[in-house]
Structure 1
Amino acid sequence: MSVKYVHGATVKSGKTSSGENFGPGEIFAYDESSQILTLRKLGELSNSYDLEFVNVKDASEVVIDDSTKSDAKPCPNVDEPRRERRFENACRAARAMADNVGENVSALAQDVFDALARTLPCRWNGDVIVVMDEVEVRGPKYDEATGTGQTPGAAERVAKVLSLERARLGV
């Protein structure tokens, strides 16, 4: 039995060839060559959606609500410049998040970095936390801030924030 997957129609339920159940959800996309069906489902957060990707090759027991087929609409056009901007922003954000994770550092060091980074610009230089590009917080305890002296009082400000954050962390 061949099933016609129309964008916008509602899949009530179905079972893949491996026996996994899928649905319910609205058909968001269908790729005929790979036989991958994308269902859009209500997300757990209000006004959000989750996507479910299903390999429907040899799927059985697929039940589509026939009343929704008439409301089906063509797939929306993709705004390529907007998609490219969103992709670049997502890559930039992922790189920034990855840069904030220290390599070969203790959990304490990462906790101290995360606490400092909430209020001050920080980066890793090996296992040393560099704050505002001029104050260093070194291990193994990560409890002392030393500065280069370029900005008067910078080391003292960082030391104060560091002591407050360490107290908040309970270390």
Structure 2
Amino acid sequence: MAAQRRGGGLLWAALLSGLALNVLDLRRPAFLAVETHQKPVQSRRSFAWAVGAGLLSEPAWAEEEAAPKKKKERPPETLIAEGLESKAIPLNGRWSIVFGKKIAGKPVYKKDGESYFLMTNDCGQLQIDTEKKATCDGSIGIQKESGWVIDGKAAANFKVRPETKEDANKSQGISA
């Protein structure tokens, strides 16, 4: 019984507050009424529909999460250098990655069986040196826009590329 009274009391309070607002509007003098050229206020129903549609729609950040993330490309574990005609500096052959060592955010490679290092320097160029360093003065060789310069001389035929499966099979003596 008490629940019915409380519910009825709330209903009466809501009705009276609505009537009181209407009465206040009627008693307001005309000179206080301000005319505006604004668009009419949306109804409560259209507002509720807009809120509901917003809650049911997929948020913008969900598209970013749903898109497949690009897999970070791993650097090759081995490189092949070839084309150097000089026998004084043995740079032709296989270069293996030095795990855990990076210079300028790029991996460092070591010539198999030698103490030469191939790395990216601070200038963004590949260089060959006897030490792991990022300075732009590759003492043995440096790759410039025109090509490799090794021991102060241009080496147009010298190339460095990732090792392929065929190269790996040749080095292990496996024929396909």
TM tier, smaller: under 0.3
Bigger radius of gyration among the two: 2
Q: What TM-score do you get using the length of structure 2 for normalisation? A: 0.21
